[in-house]
Amino acid sequence: MRACRHFSAQCCCSIPFGIIFGGTDINEDIKHEEKHRVMGAVLEEARFAVAFTEKMKELAEREWPYAGSKICVQTQGIKTTPSTMFNWKRFLQNAGIPQDSDNVCLFILICGLRRVKDPLYLVDVFSEWHRKEPSVHLAIIGPTVDPVFVSEVKEKLKRSPGVHLLQEIPQDDLHAAVKRCFAVVNSSISEGMSAAVLEAMDLDVPVLARNIPGNAAIIKHKDTGLLFADPQEFVLLSKSLMNDPTLGKKMVTRAKDYVKKHHSWECERKTYQSLIWRLQ
């Protein structure tokens, strides 16, 4: 629904359209009067709306009861495509990681760089951990969404050894990097449904995510991933995962099964094909 934020509440669109709710829309934007008003006006004209979870649908219906019949639930479909030409050592060099690539324990946080994704949430504790154990590194990867915030991130990371910022890379290279990393991290303040987390699950990589409703909806703690309440717990859970390979193997197996069962990209495609017919 992000593209609809520039619509005027008085504007009547003559082109049939549908909308997809994002996590920021439902979790954050509805708190702001003007955004709430515009979203309601857009939703009123939309032929259909898609929410990723039942919880998101309930939140939308609470704000705009008249739209309940328009809203369907369709989880994100996941299909990963790791590059076969990916160069791991070059990736580490580009990240500024000087270690022997065979000894690096790399965590990856994938997000558009904006405040709601809170990429700085773990920086202090991770940097402290890196000082004690130089093999552990955190790579933050993603496009610039908020240039002012990115400047803050870069300034912070100058004083944070062990934490590295990389620009967005092609999806197949990103998937290949995820397959080589130790774990994927999510530290968002709010989420709708994190594609990065689901992709990591599909790629047989452990996930550690901030314990917020959007993440808890797709991760069962110590079953398909690990949920942390604060930065200190993140480090404790990470160390427990490093010291217990059996736990990691069990979680990635269950997570892979979960994604196959609940996040089929074929099912998602069929749903959207049927919805598009409503626009005819």
82 domain-assigned: no
Instruction: Mark whether 248 and 268 lie in a shared domain.
Output: no
25 domain-assigned: yes
Instruction: Mark whether 37 and 149 lie in a shared domain.
Output: no
Residue 67's pLDDT is what?
87
Instruction: Mark whether 188 and 66 lie in a shared domain.
Output: no
Question: Each residue of 80-112: pLDDT tens digit?
Answer: 999 999 999 999 999 999 777 678 999 999 999
Question: Each residue of 3-33: pLDDT tens digit?
Answer: 444 444 444 557 899 999 887 777 777 788 8
Instruction: Mark whether 272 and 249 lie in a shared domain.
Output: no
Instruction: Mark whether 70 and 111 lie in a shared domain.
Output: no
Share of the chain above pLDDT 90, in %: 75
Q: Which domain holds residue 72?
A: 2-77+264-279
Q: What's the mean pLDDT in 205-228?
A: 96
72 domain-assigned: yes
- Tally of domains within the chain: 2
Instruction: Mark whether 111 and 250 lie in a shared domain.
Output: yes
Instruction: Mark whether 72 and 165 lie in a shared domain.
Output: no
Instruction: Mark whether 105 and 163 lie in a shared domain.
Output: yes
83 domain-assigned: no
122 domain-assigned: yes
CATH number at residue 209: 3.40.50.2000
Instruction: Mark whether 11 and 119 lie in a shared domain.
Output: no
Question: Each residue of 259-280: pLDDT tens digit?
Answer: 999 999 999 999 999 999 888 7
Instruction: Mark whether 171 and 56 lie in a shared domain.
Output: no
103 domain-assigned: yes
93 domain-assigned: yes
Instruction: Mark whether 213 and 269 lie in a shared domain.
Output: no
Query: Who contacts 59 (Cβ-Cβ below 8 Å, separation ≥6)?
Result: 26, 27, 30
Instruction: Mark whether 152 and 236 lie in a shared domain.
Output: yes
Could you give the C-alpha distances from 53 to 1, 56, 264, in angstroms and in order?
Answer: 15, 5, 14
48 domain-assigned: yes
Residue 53's pLDDT is what?
87
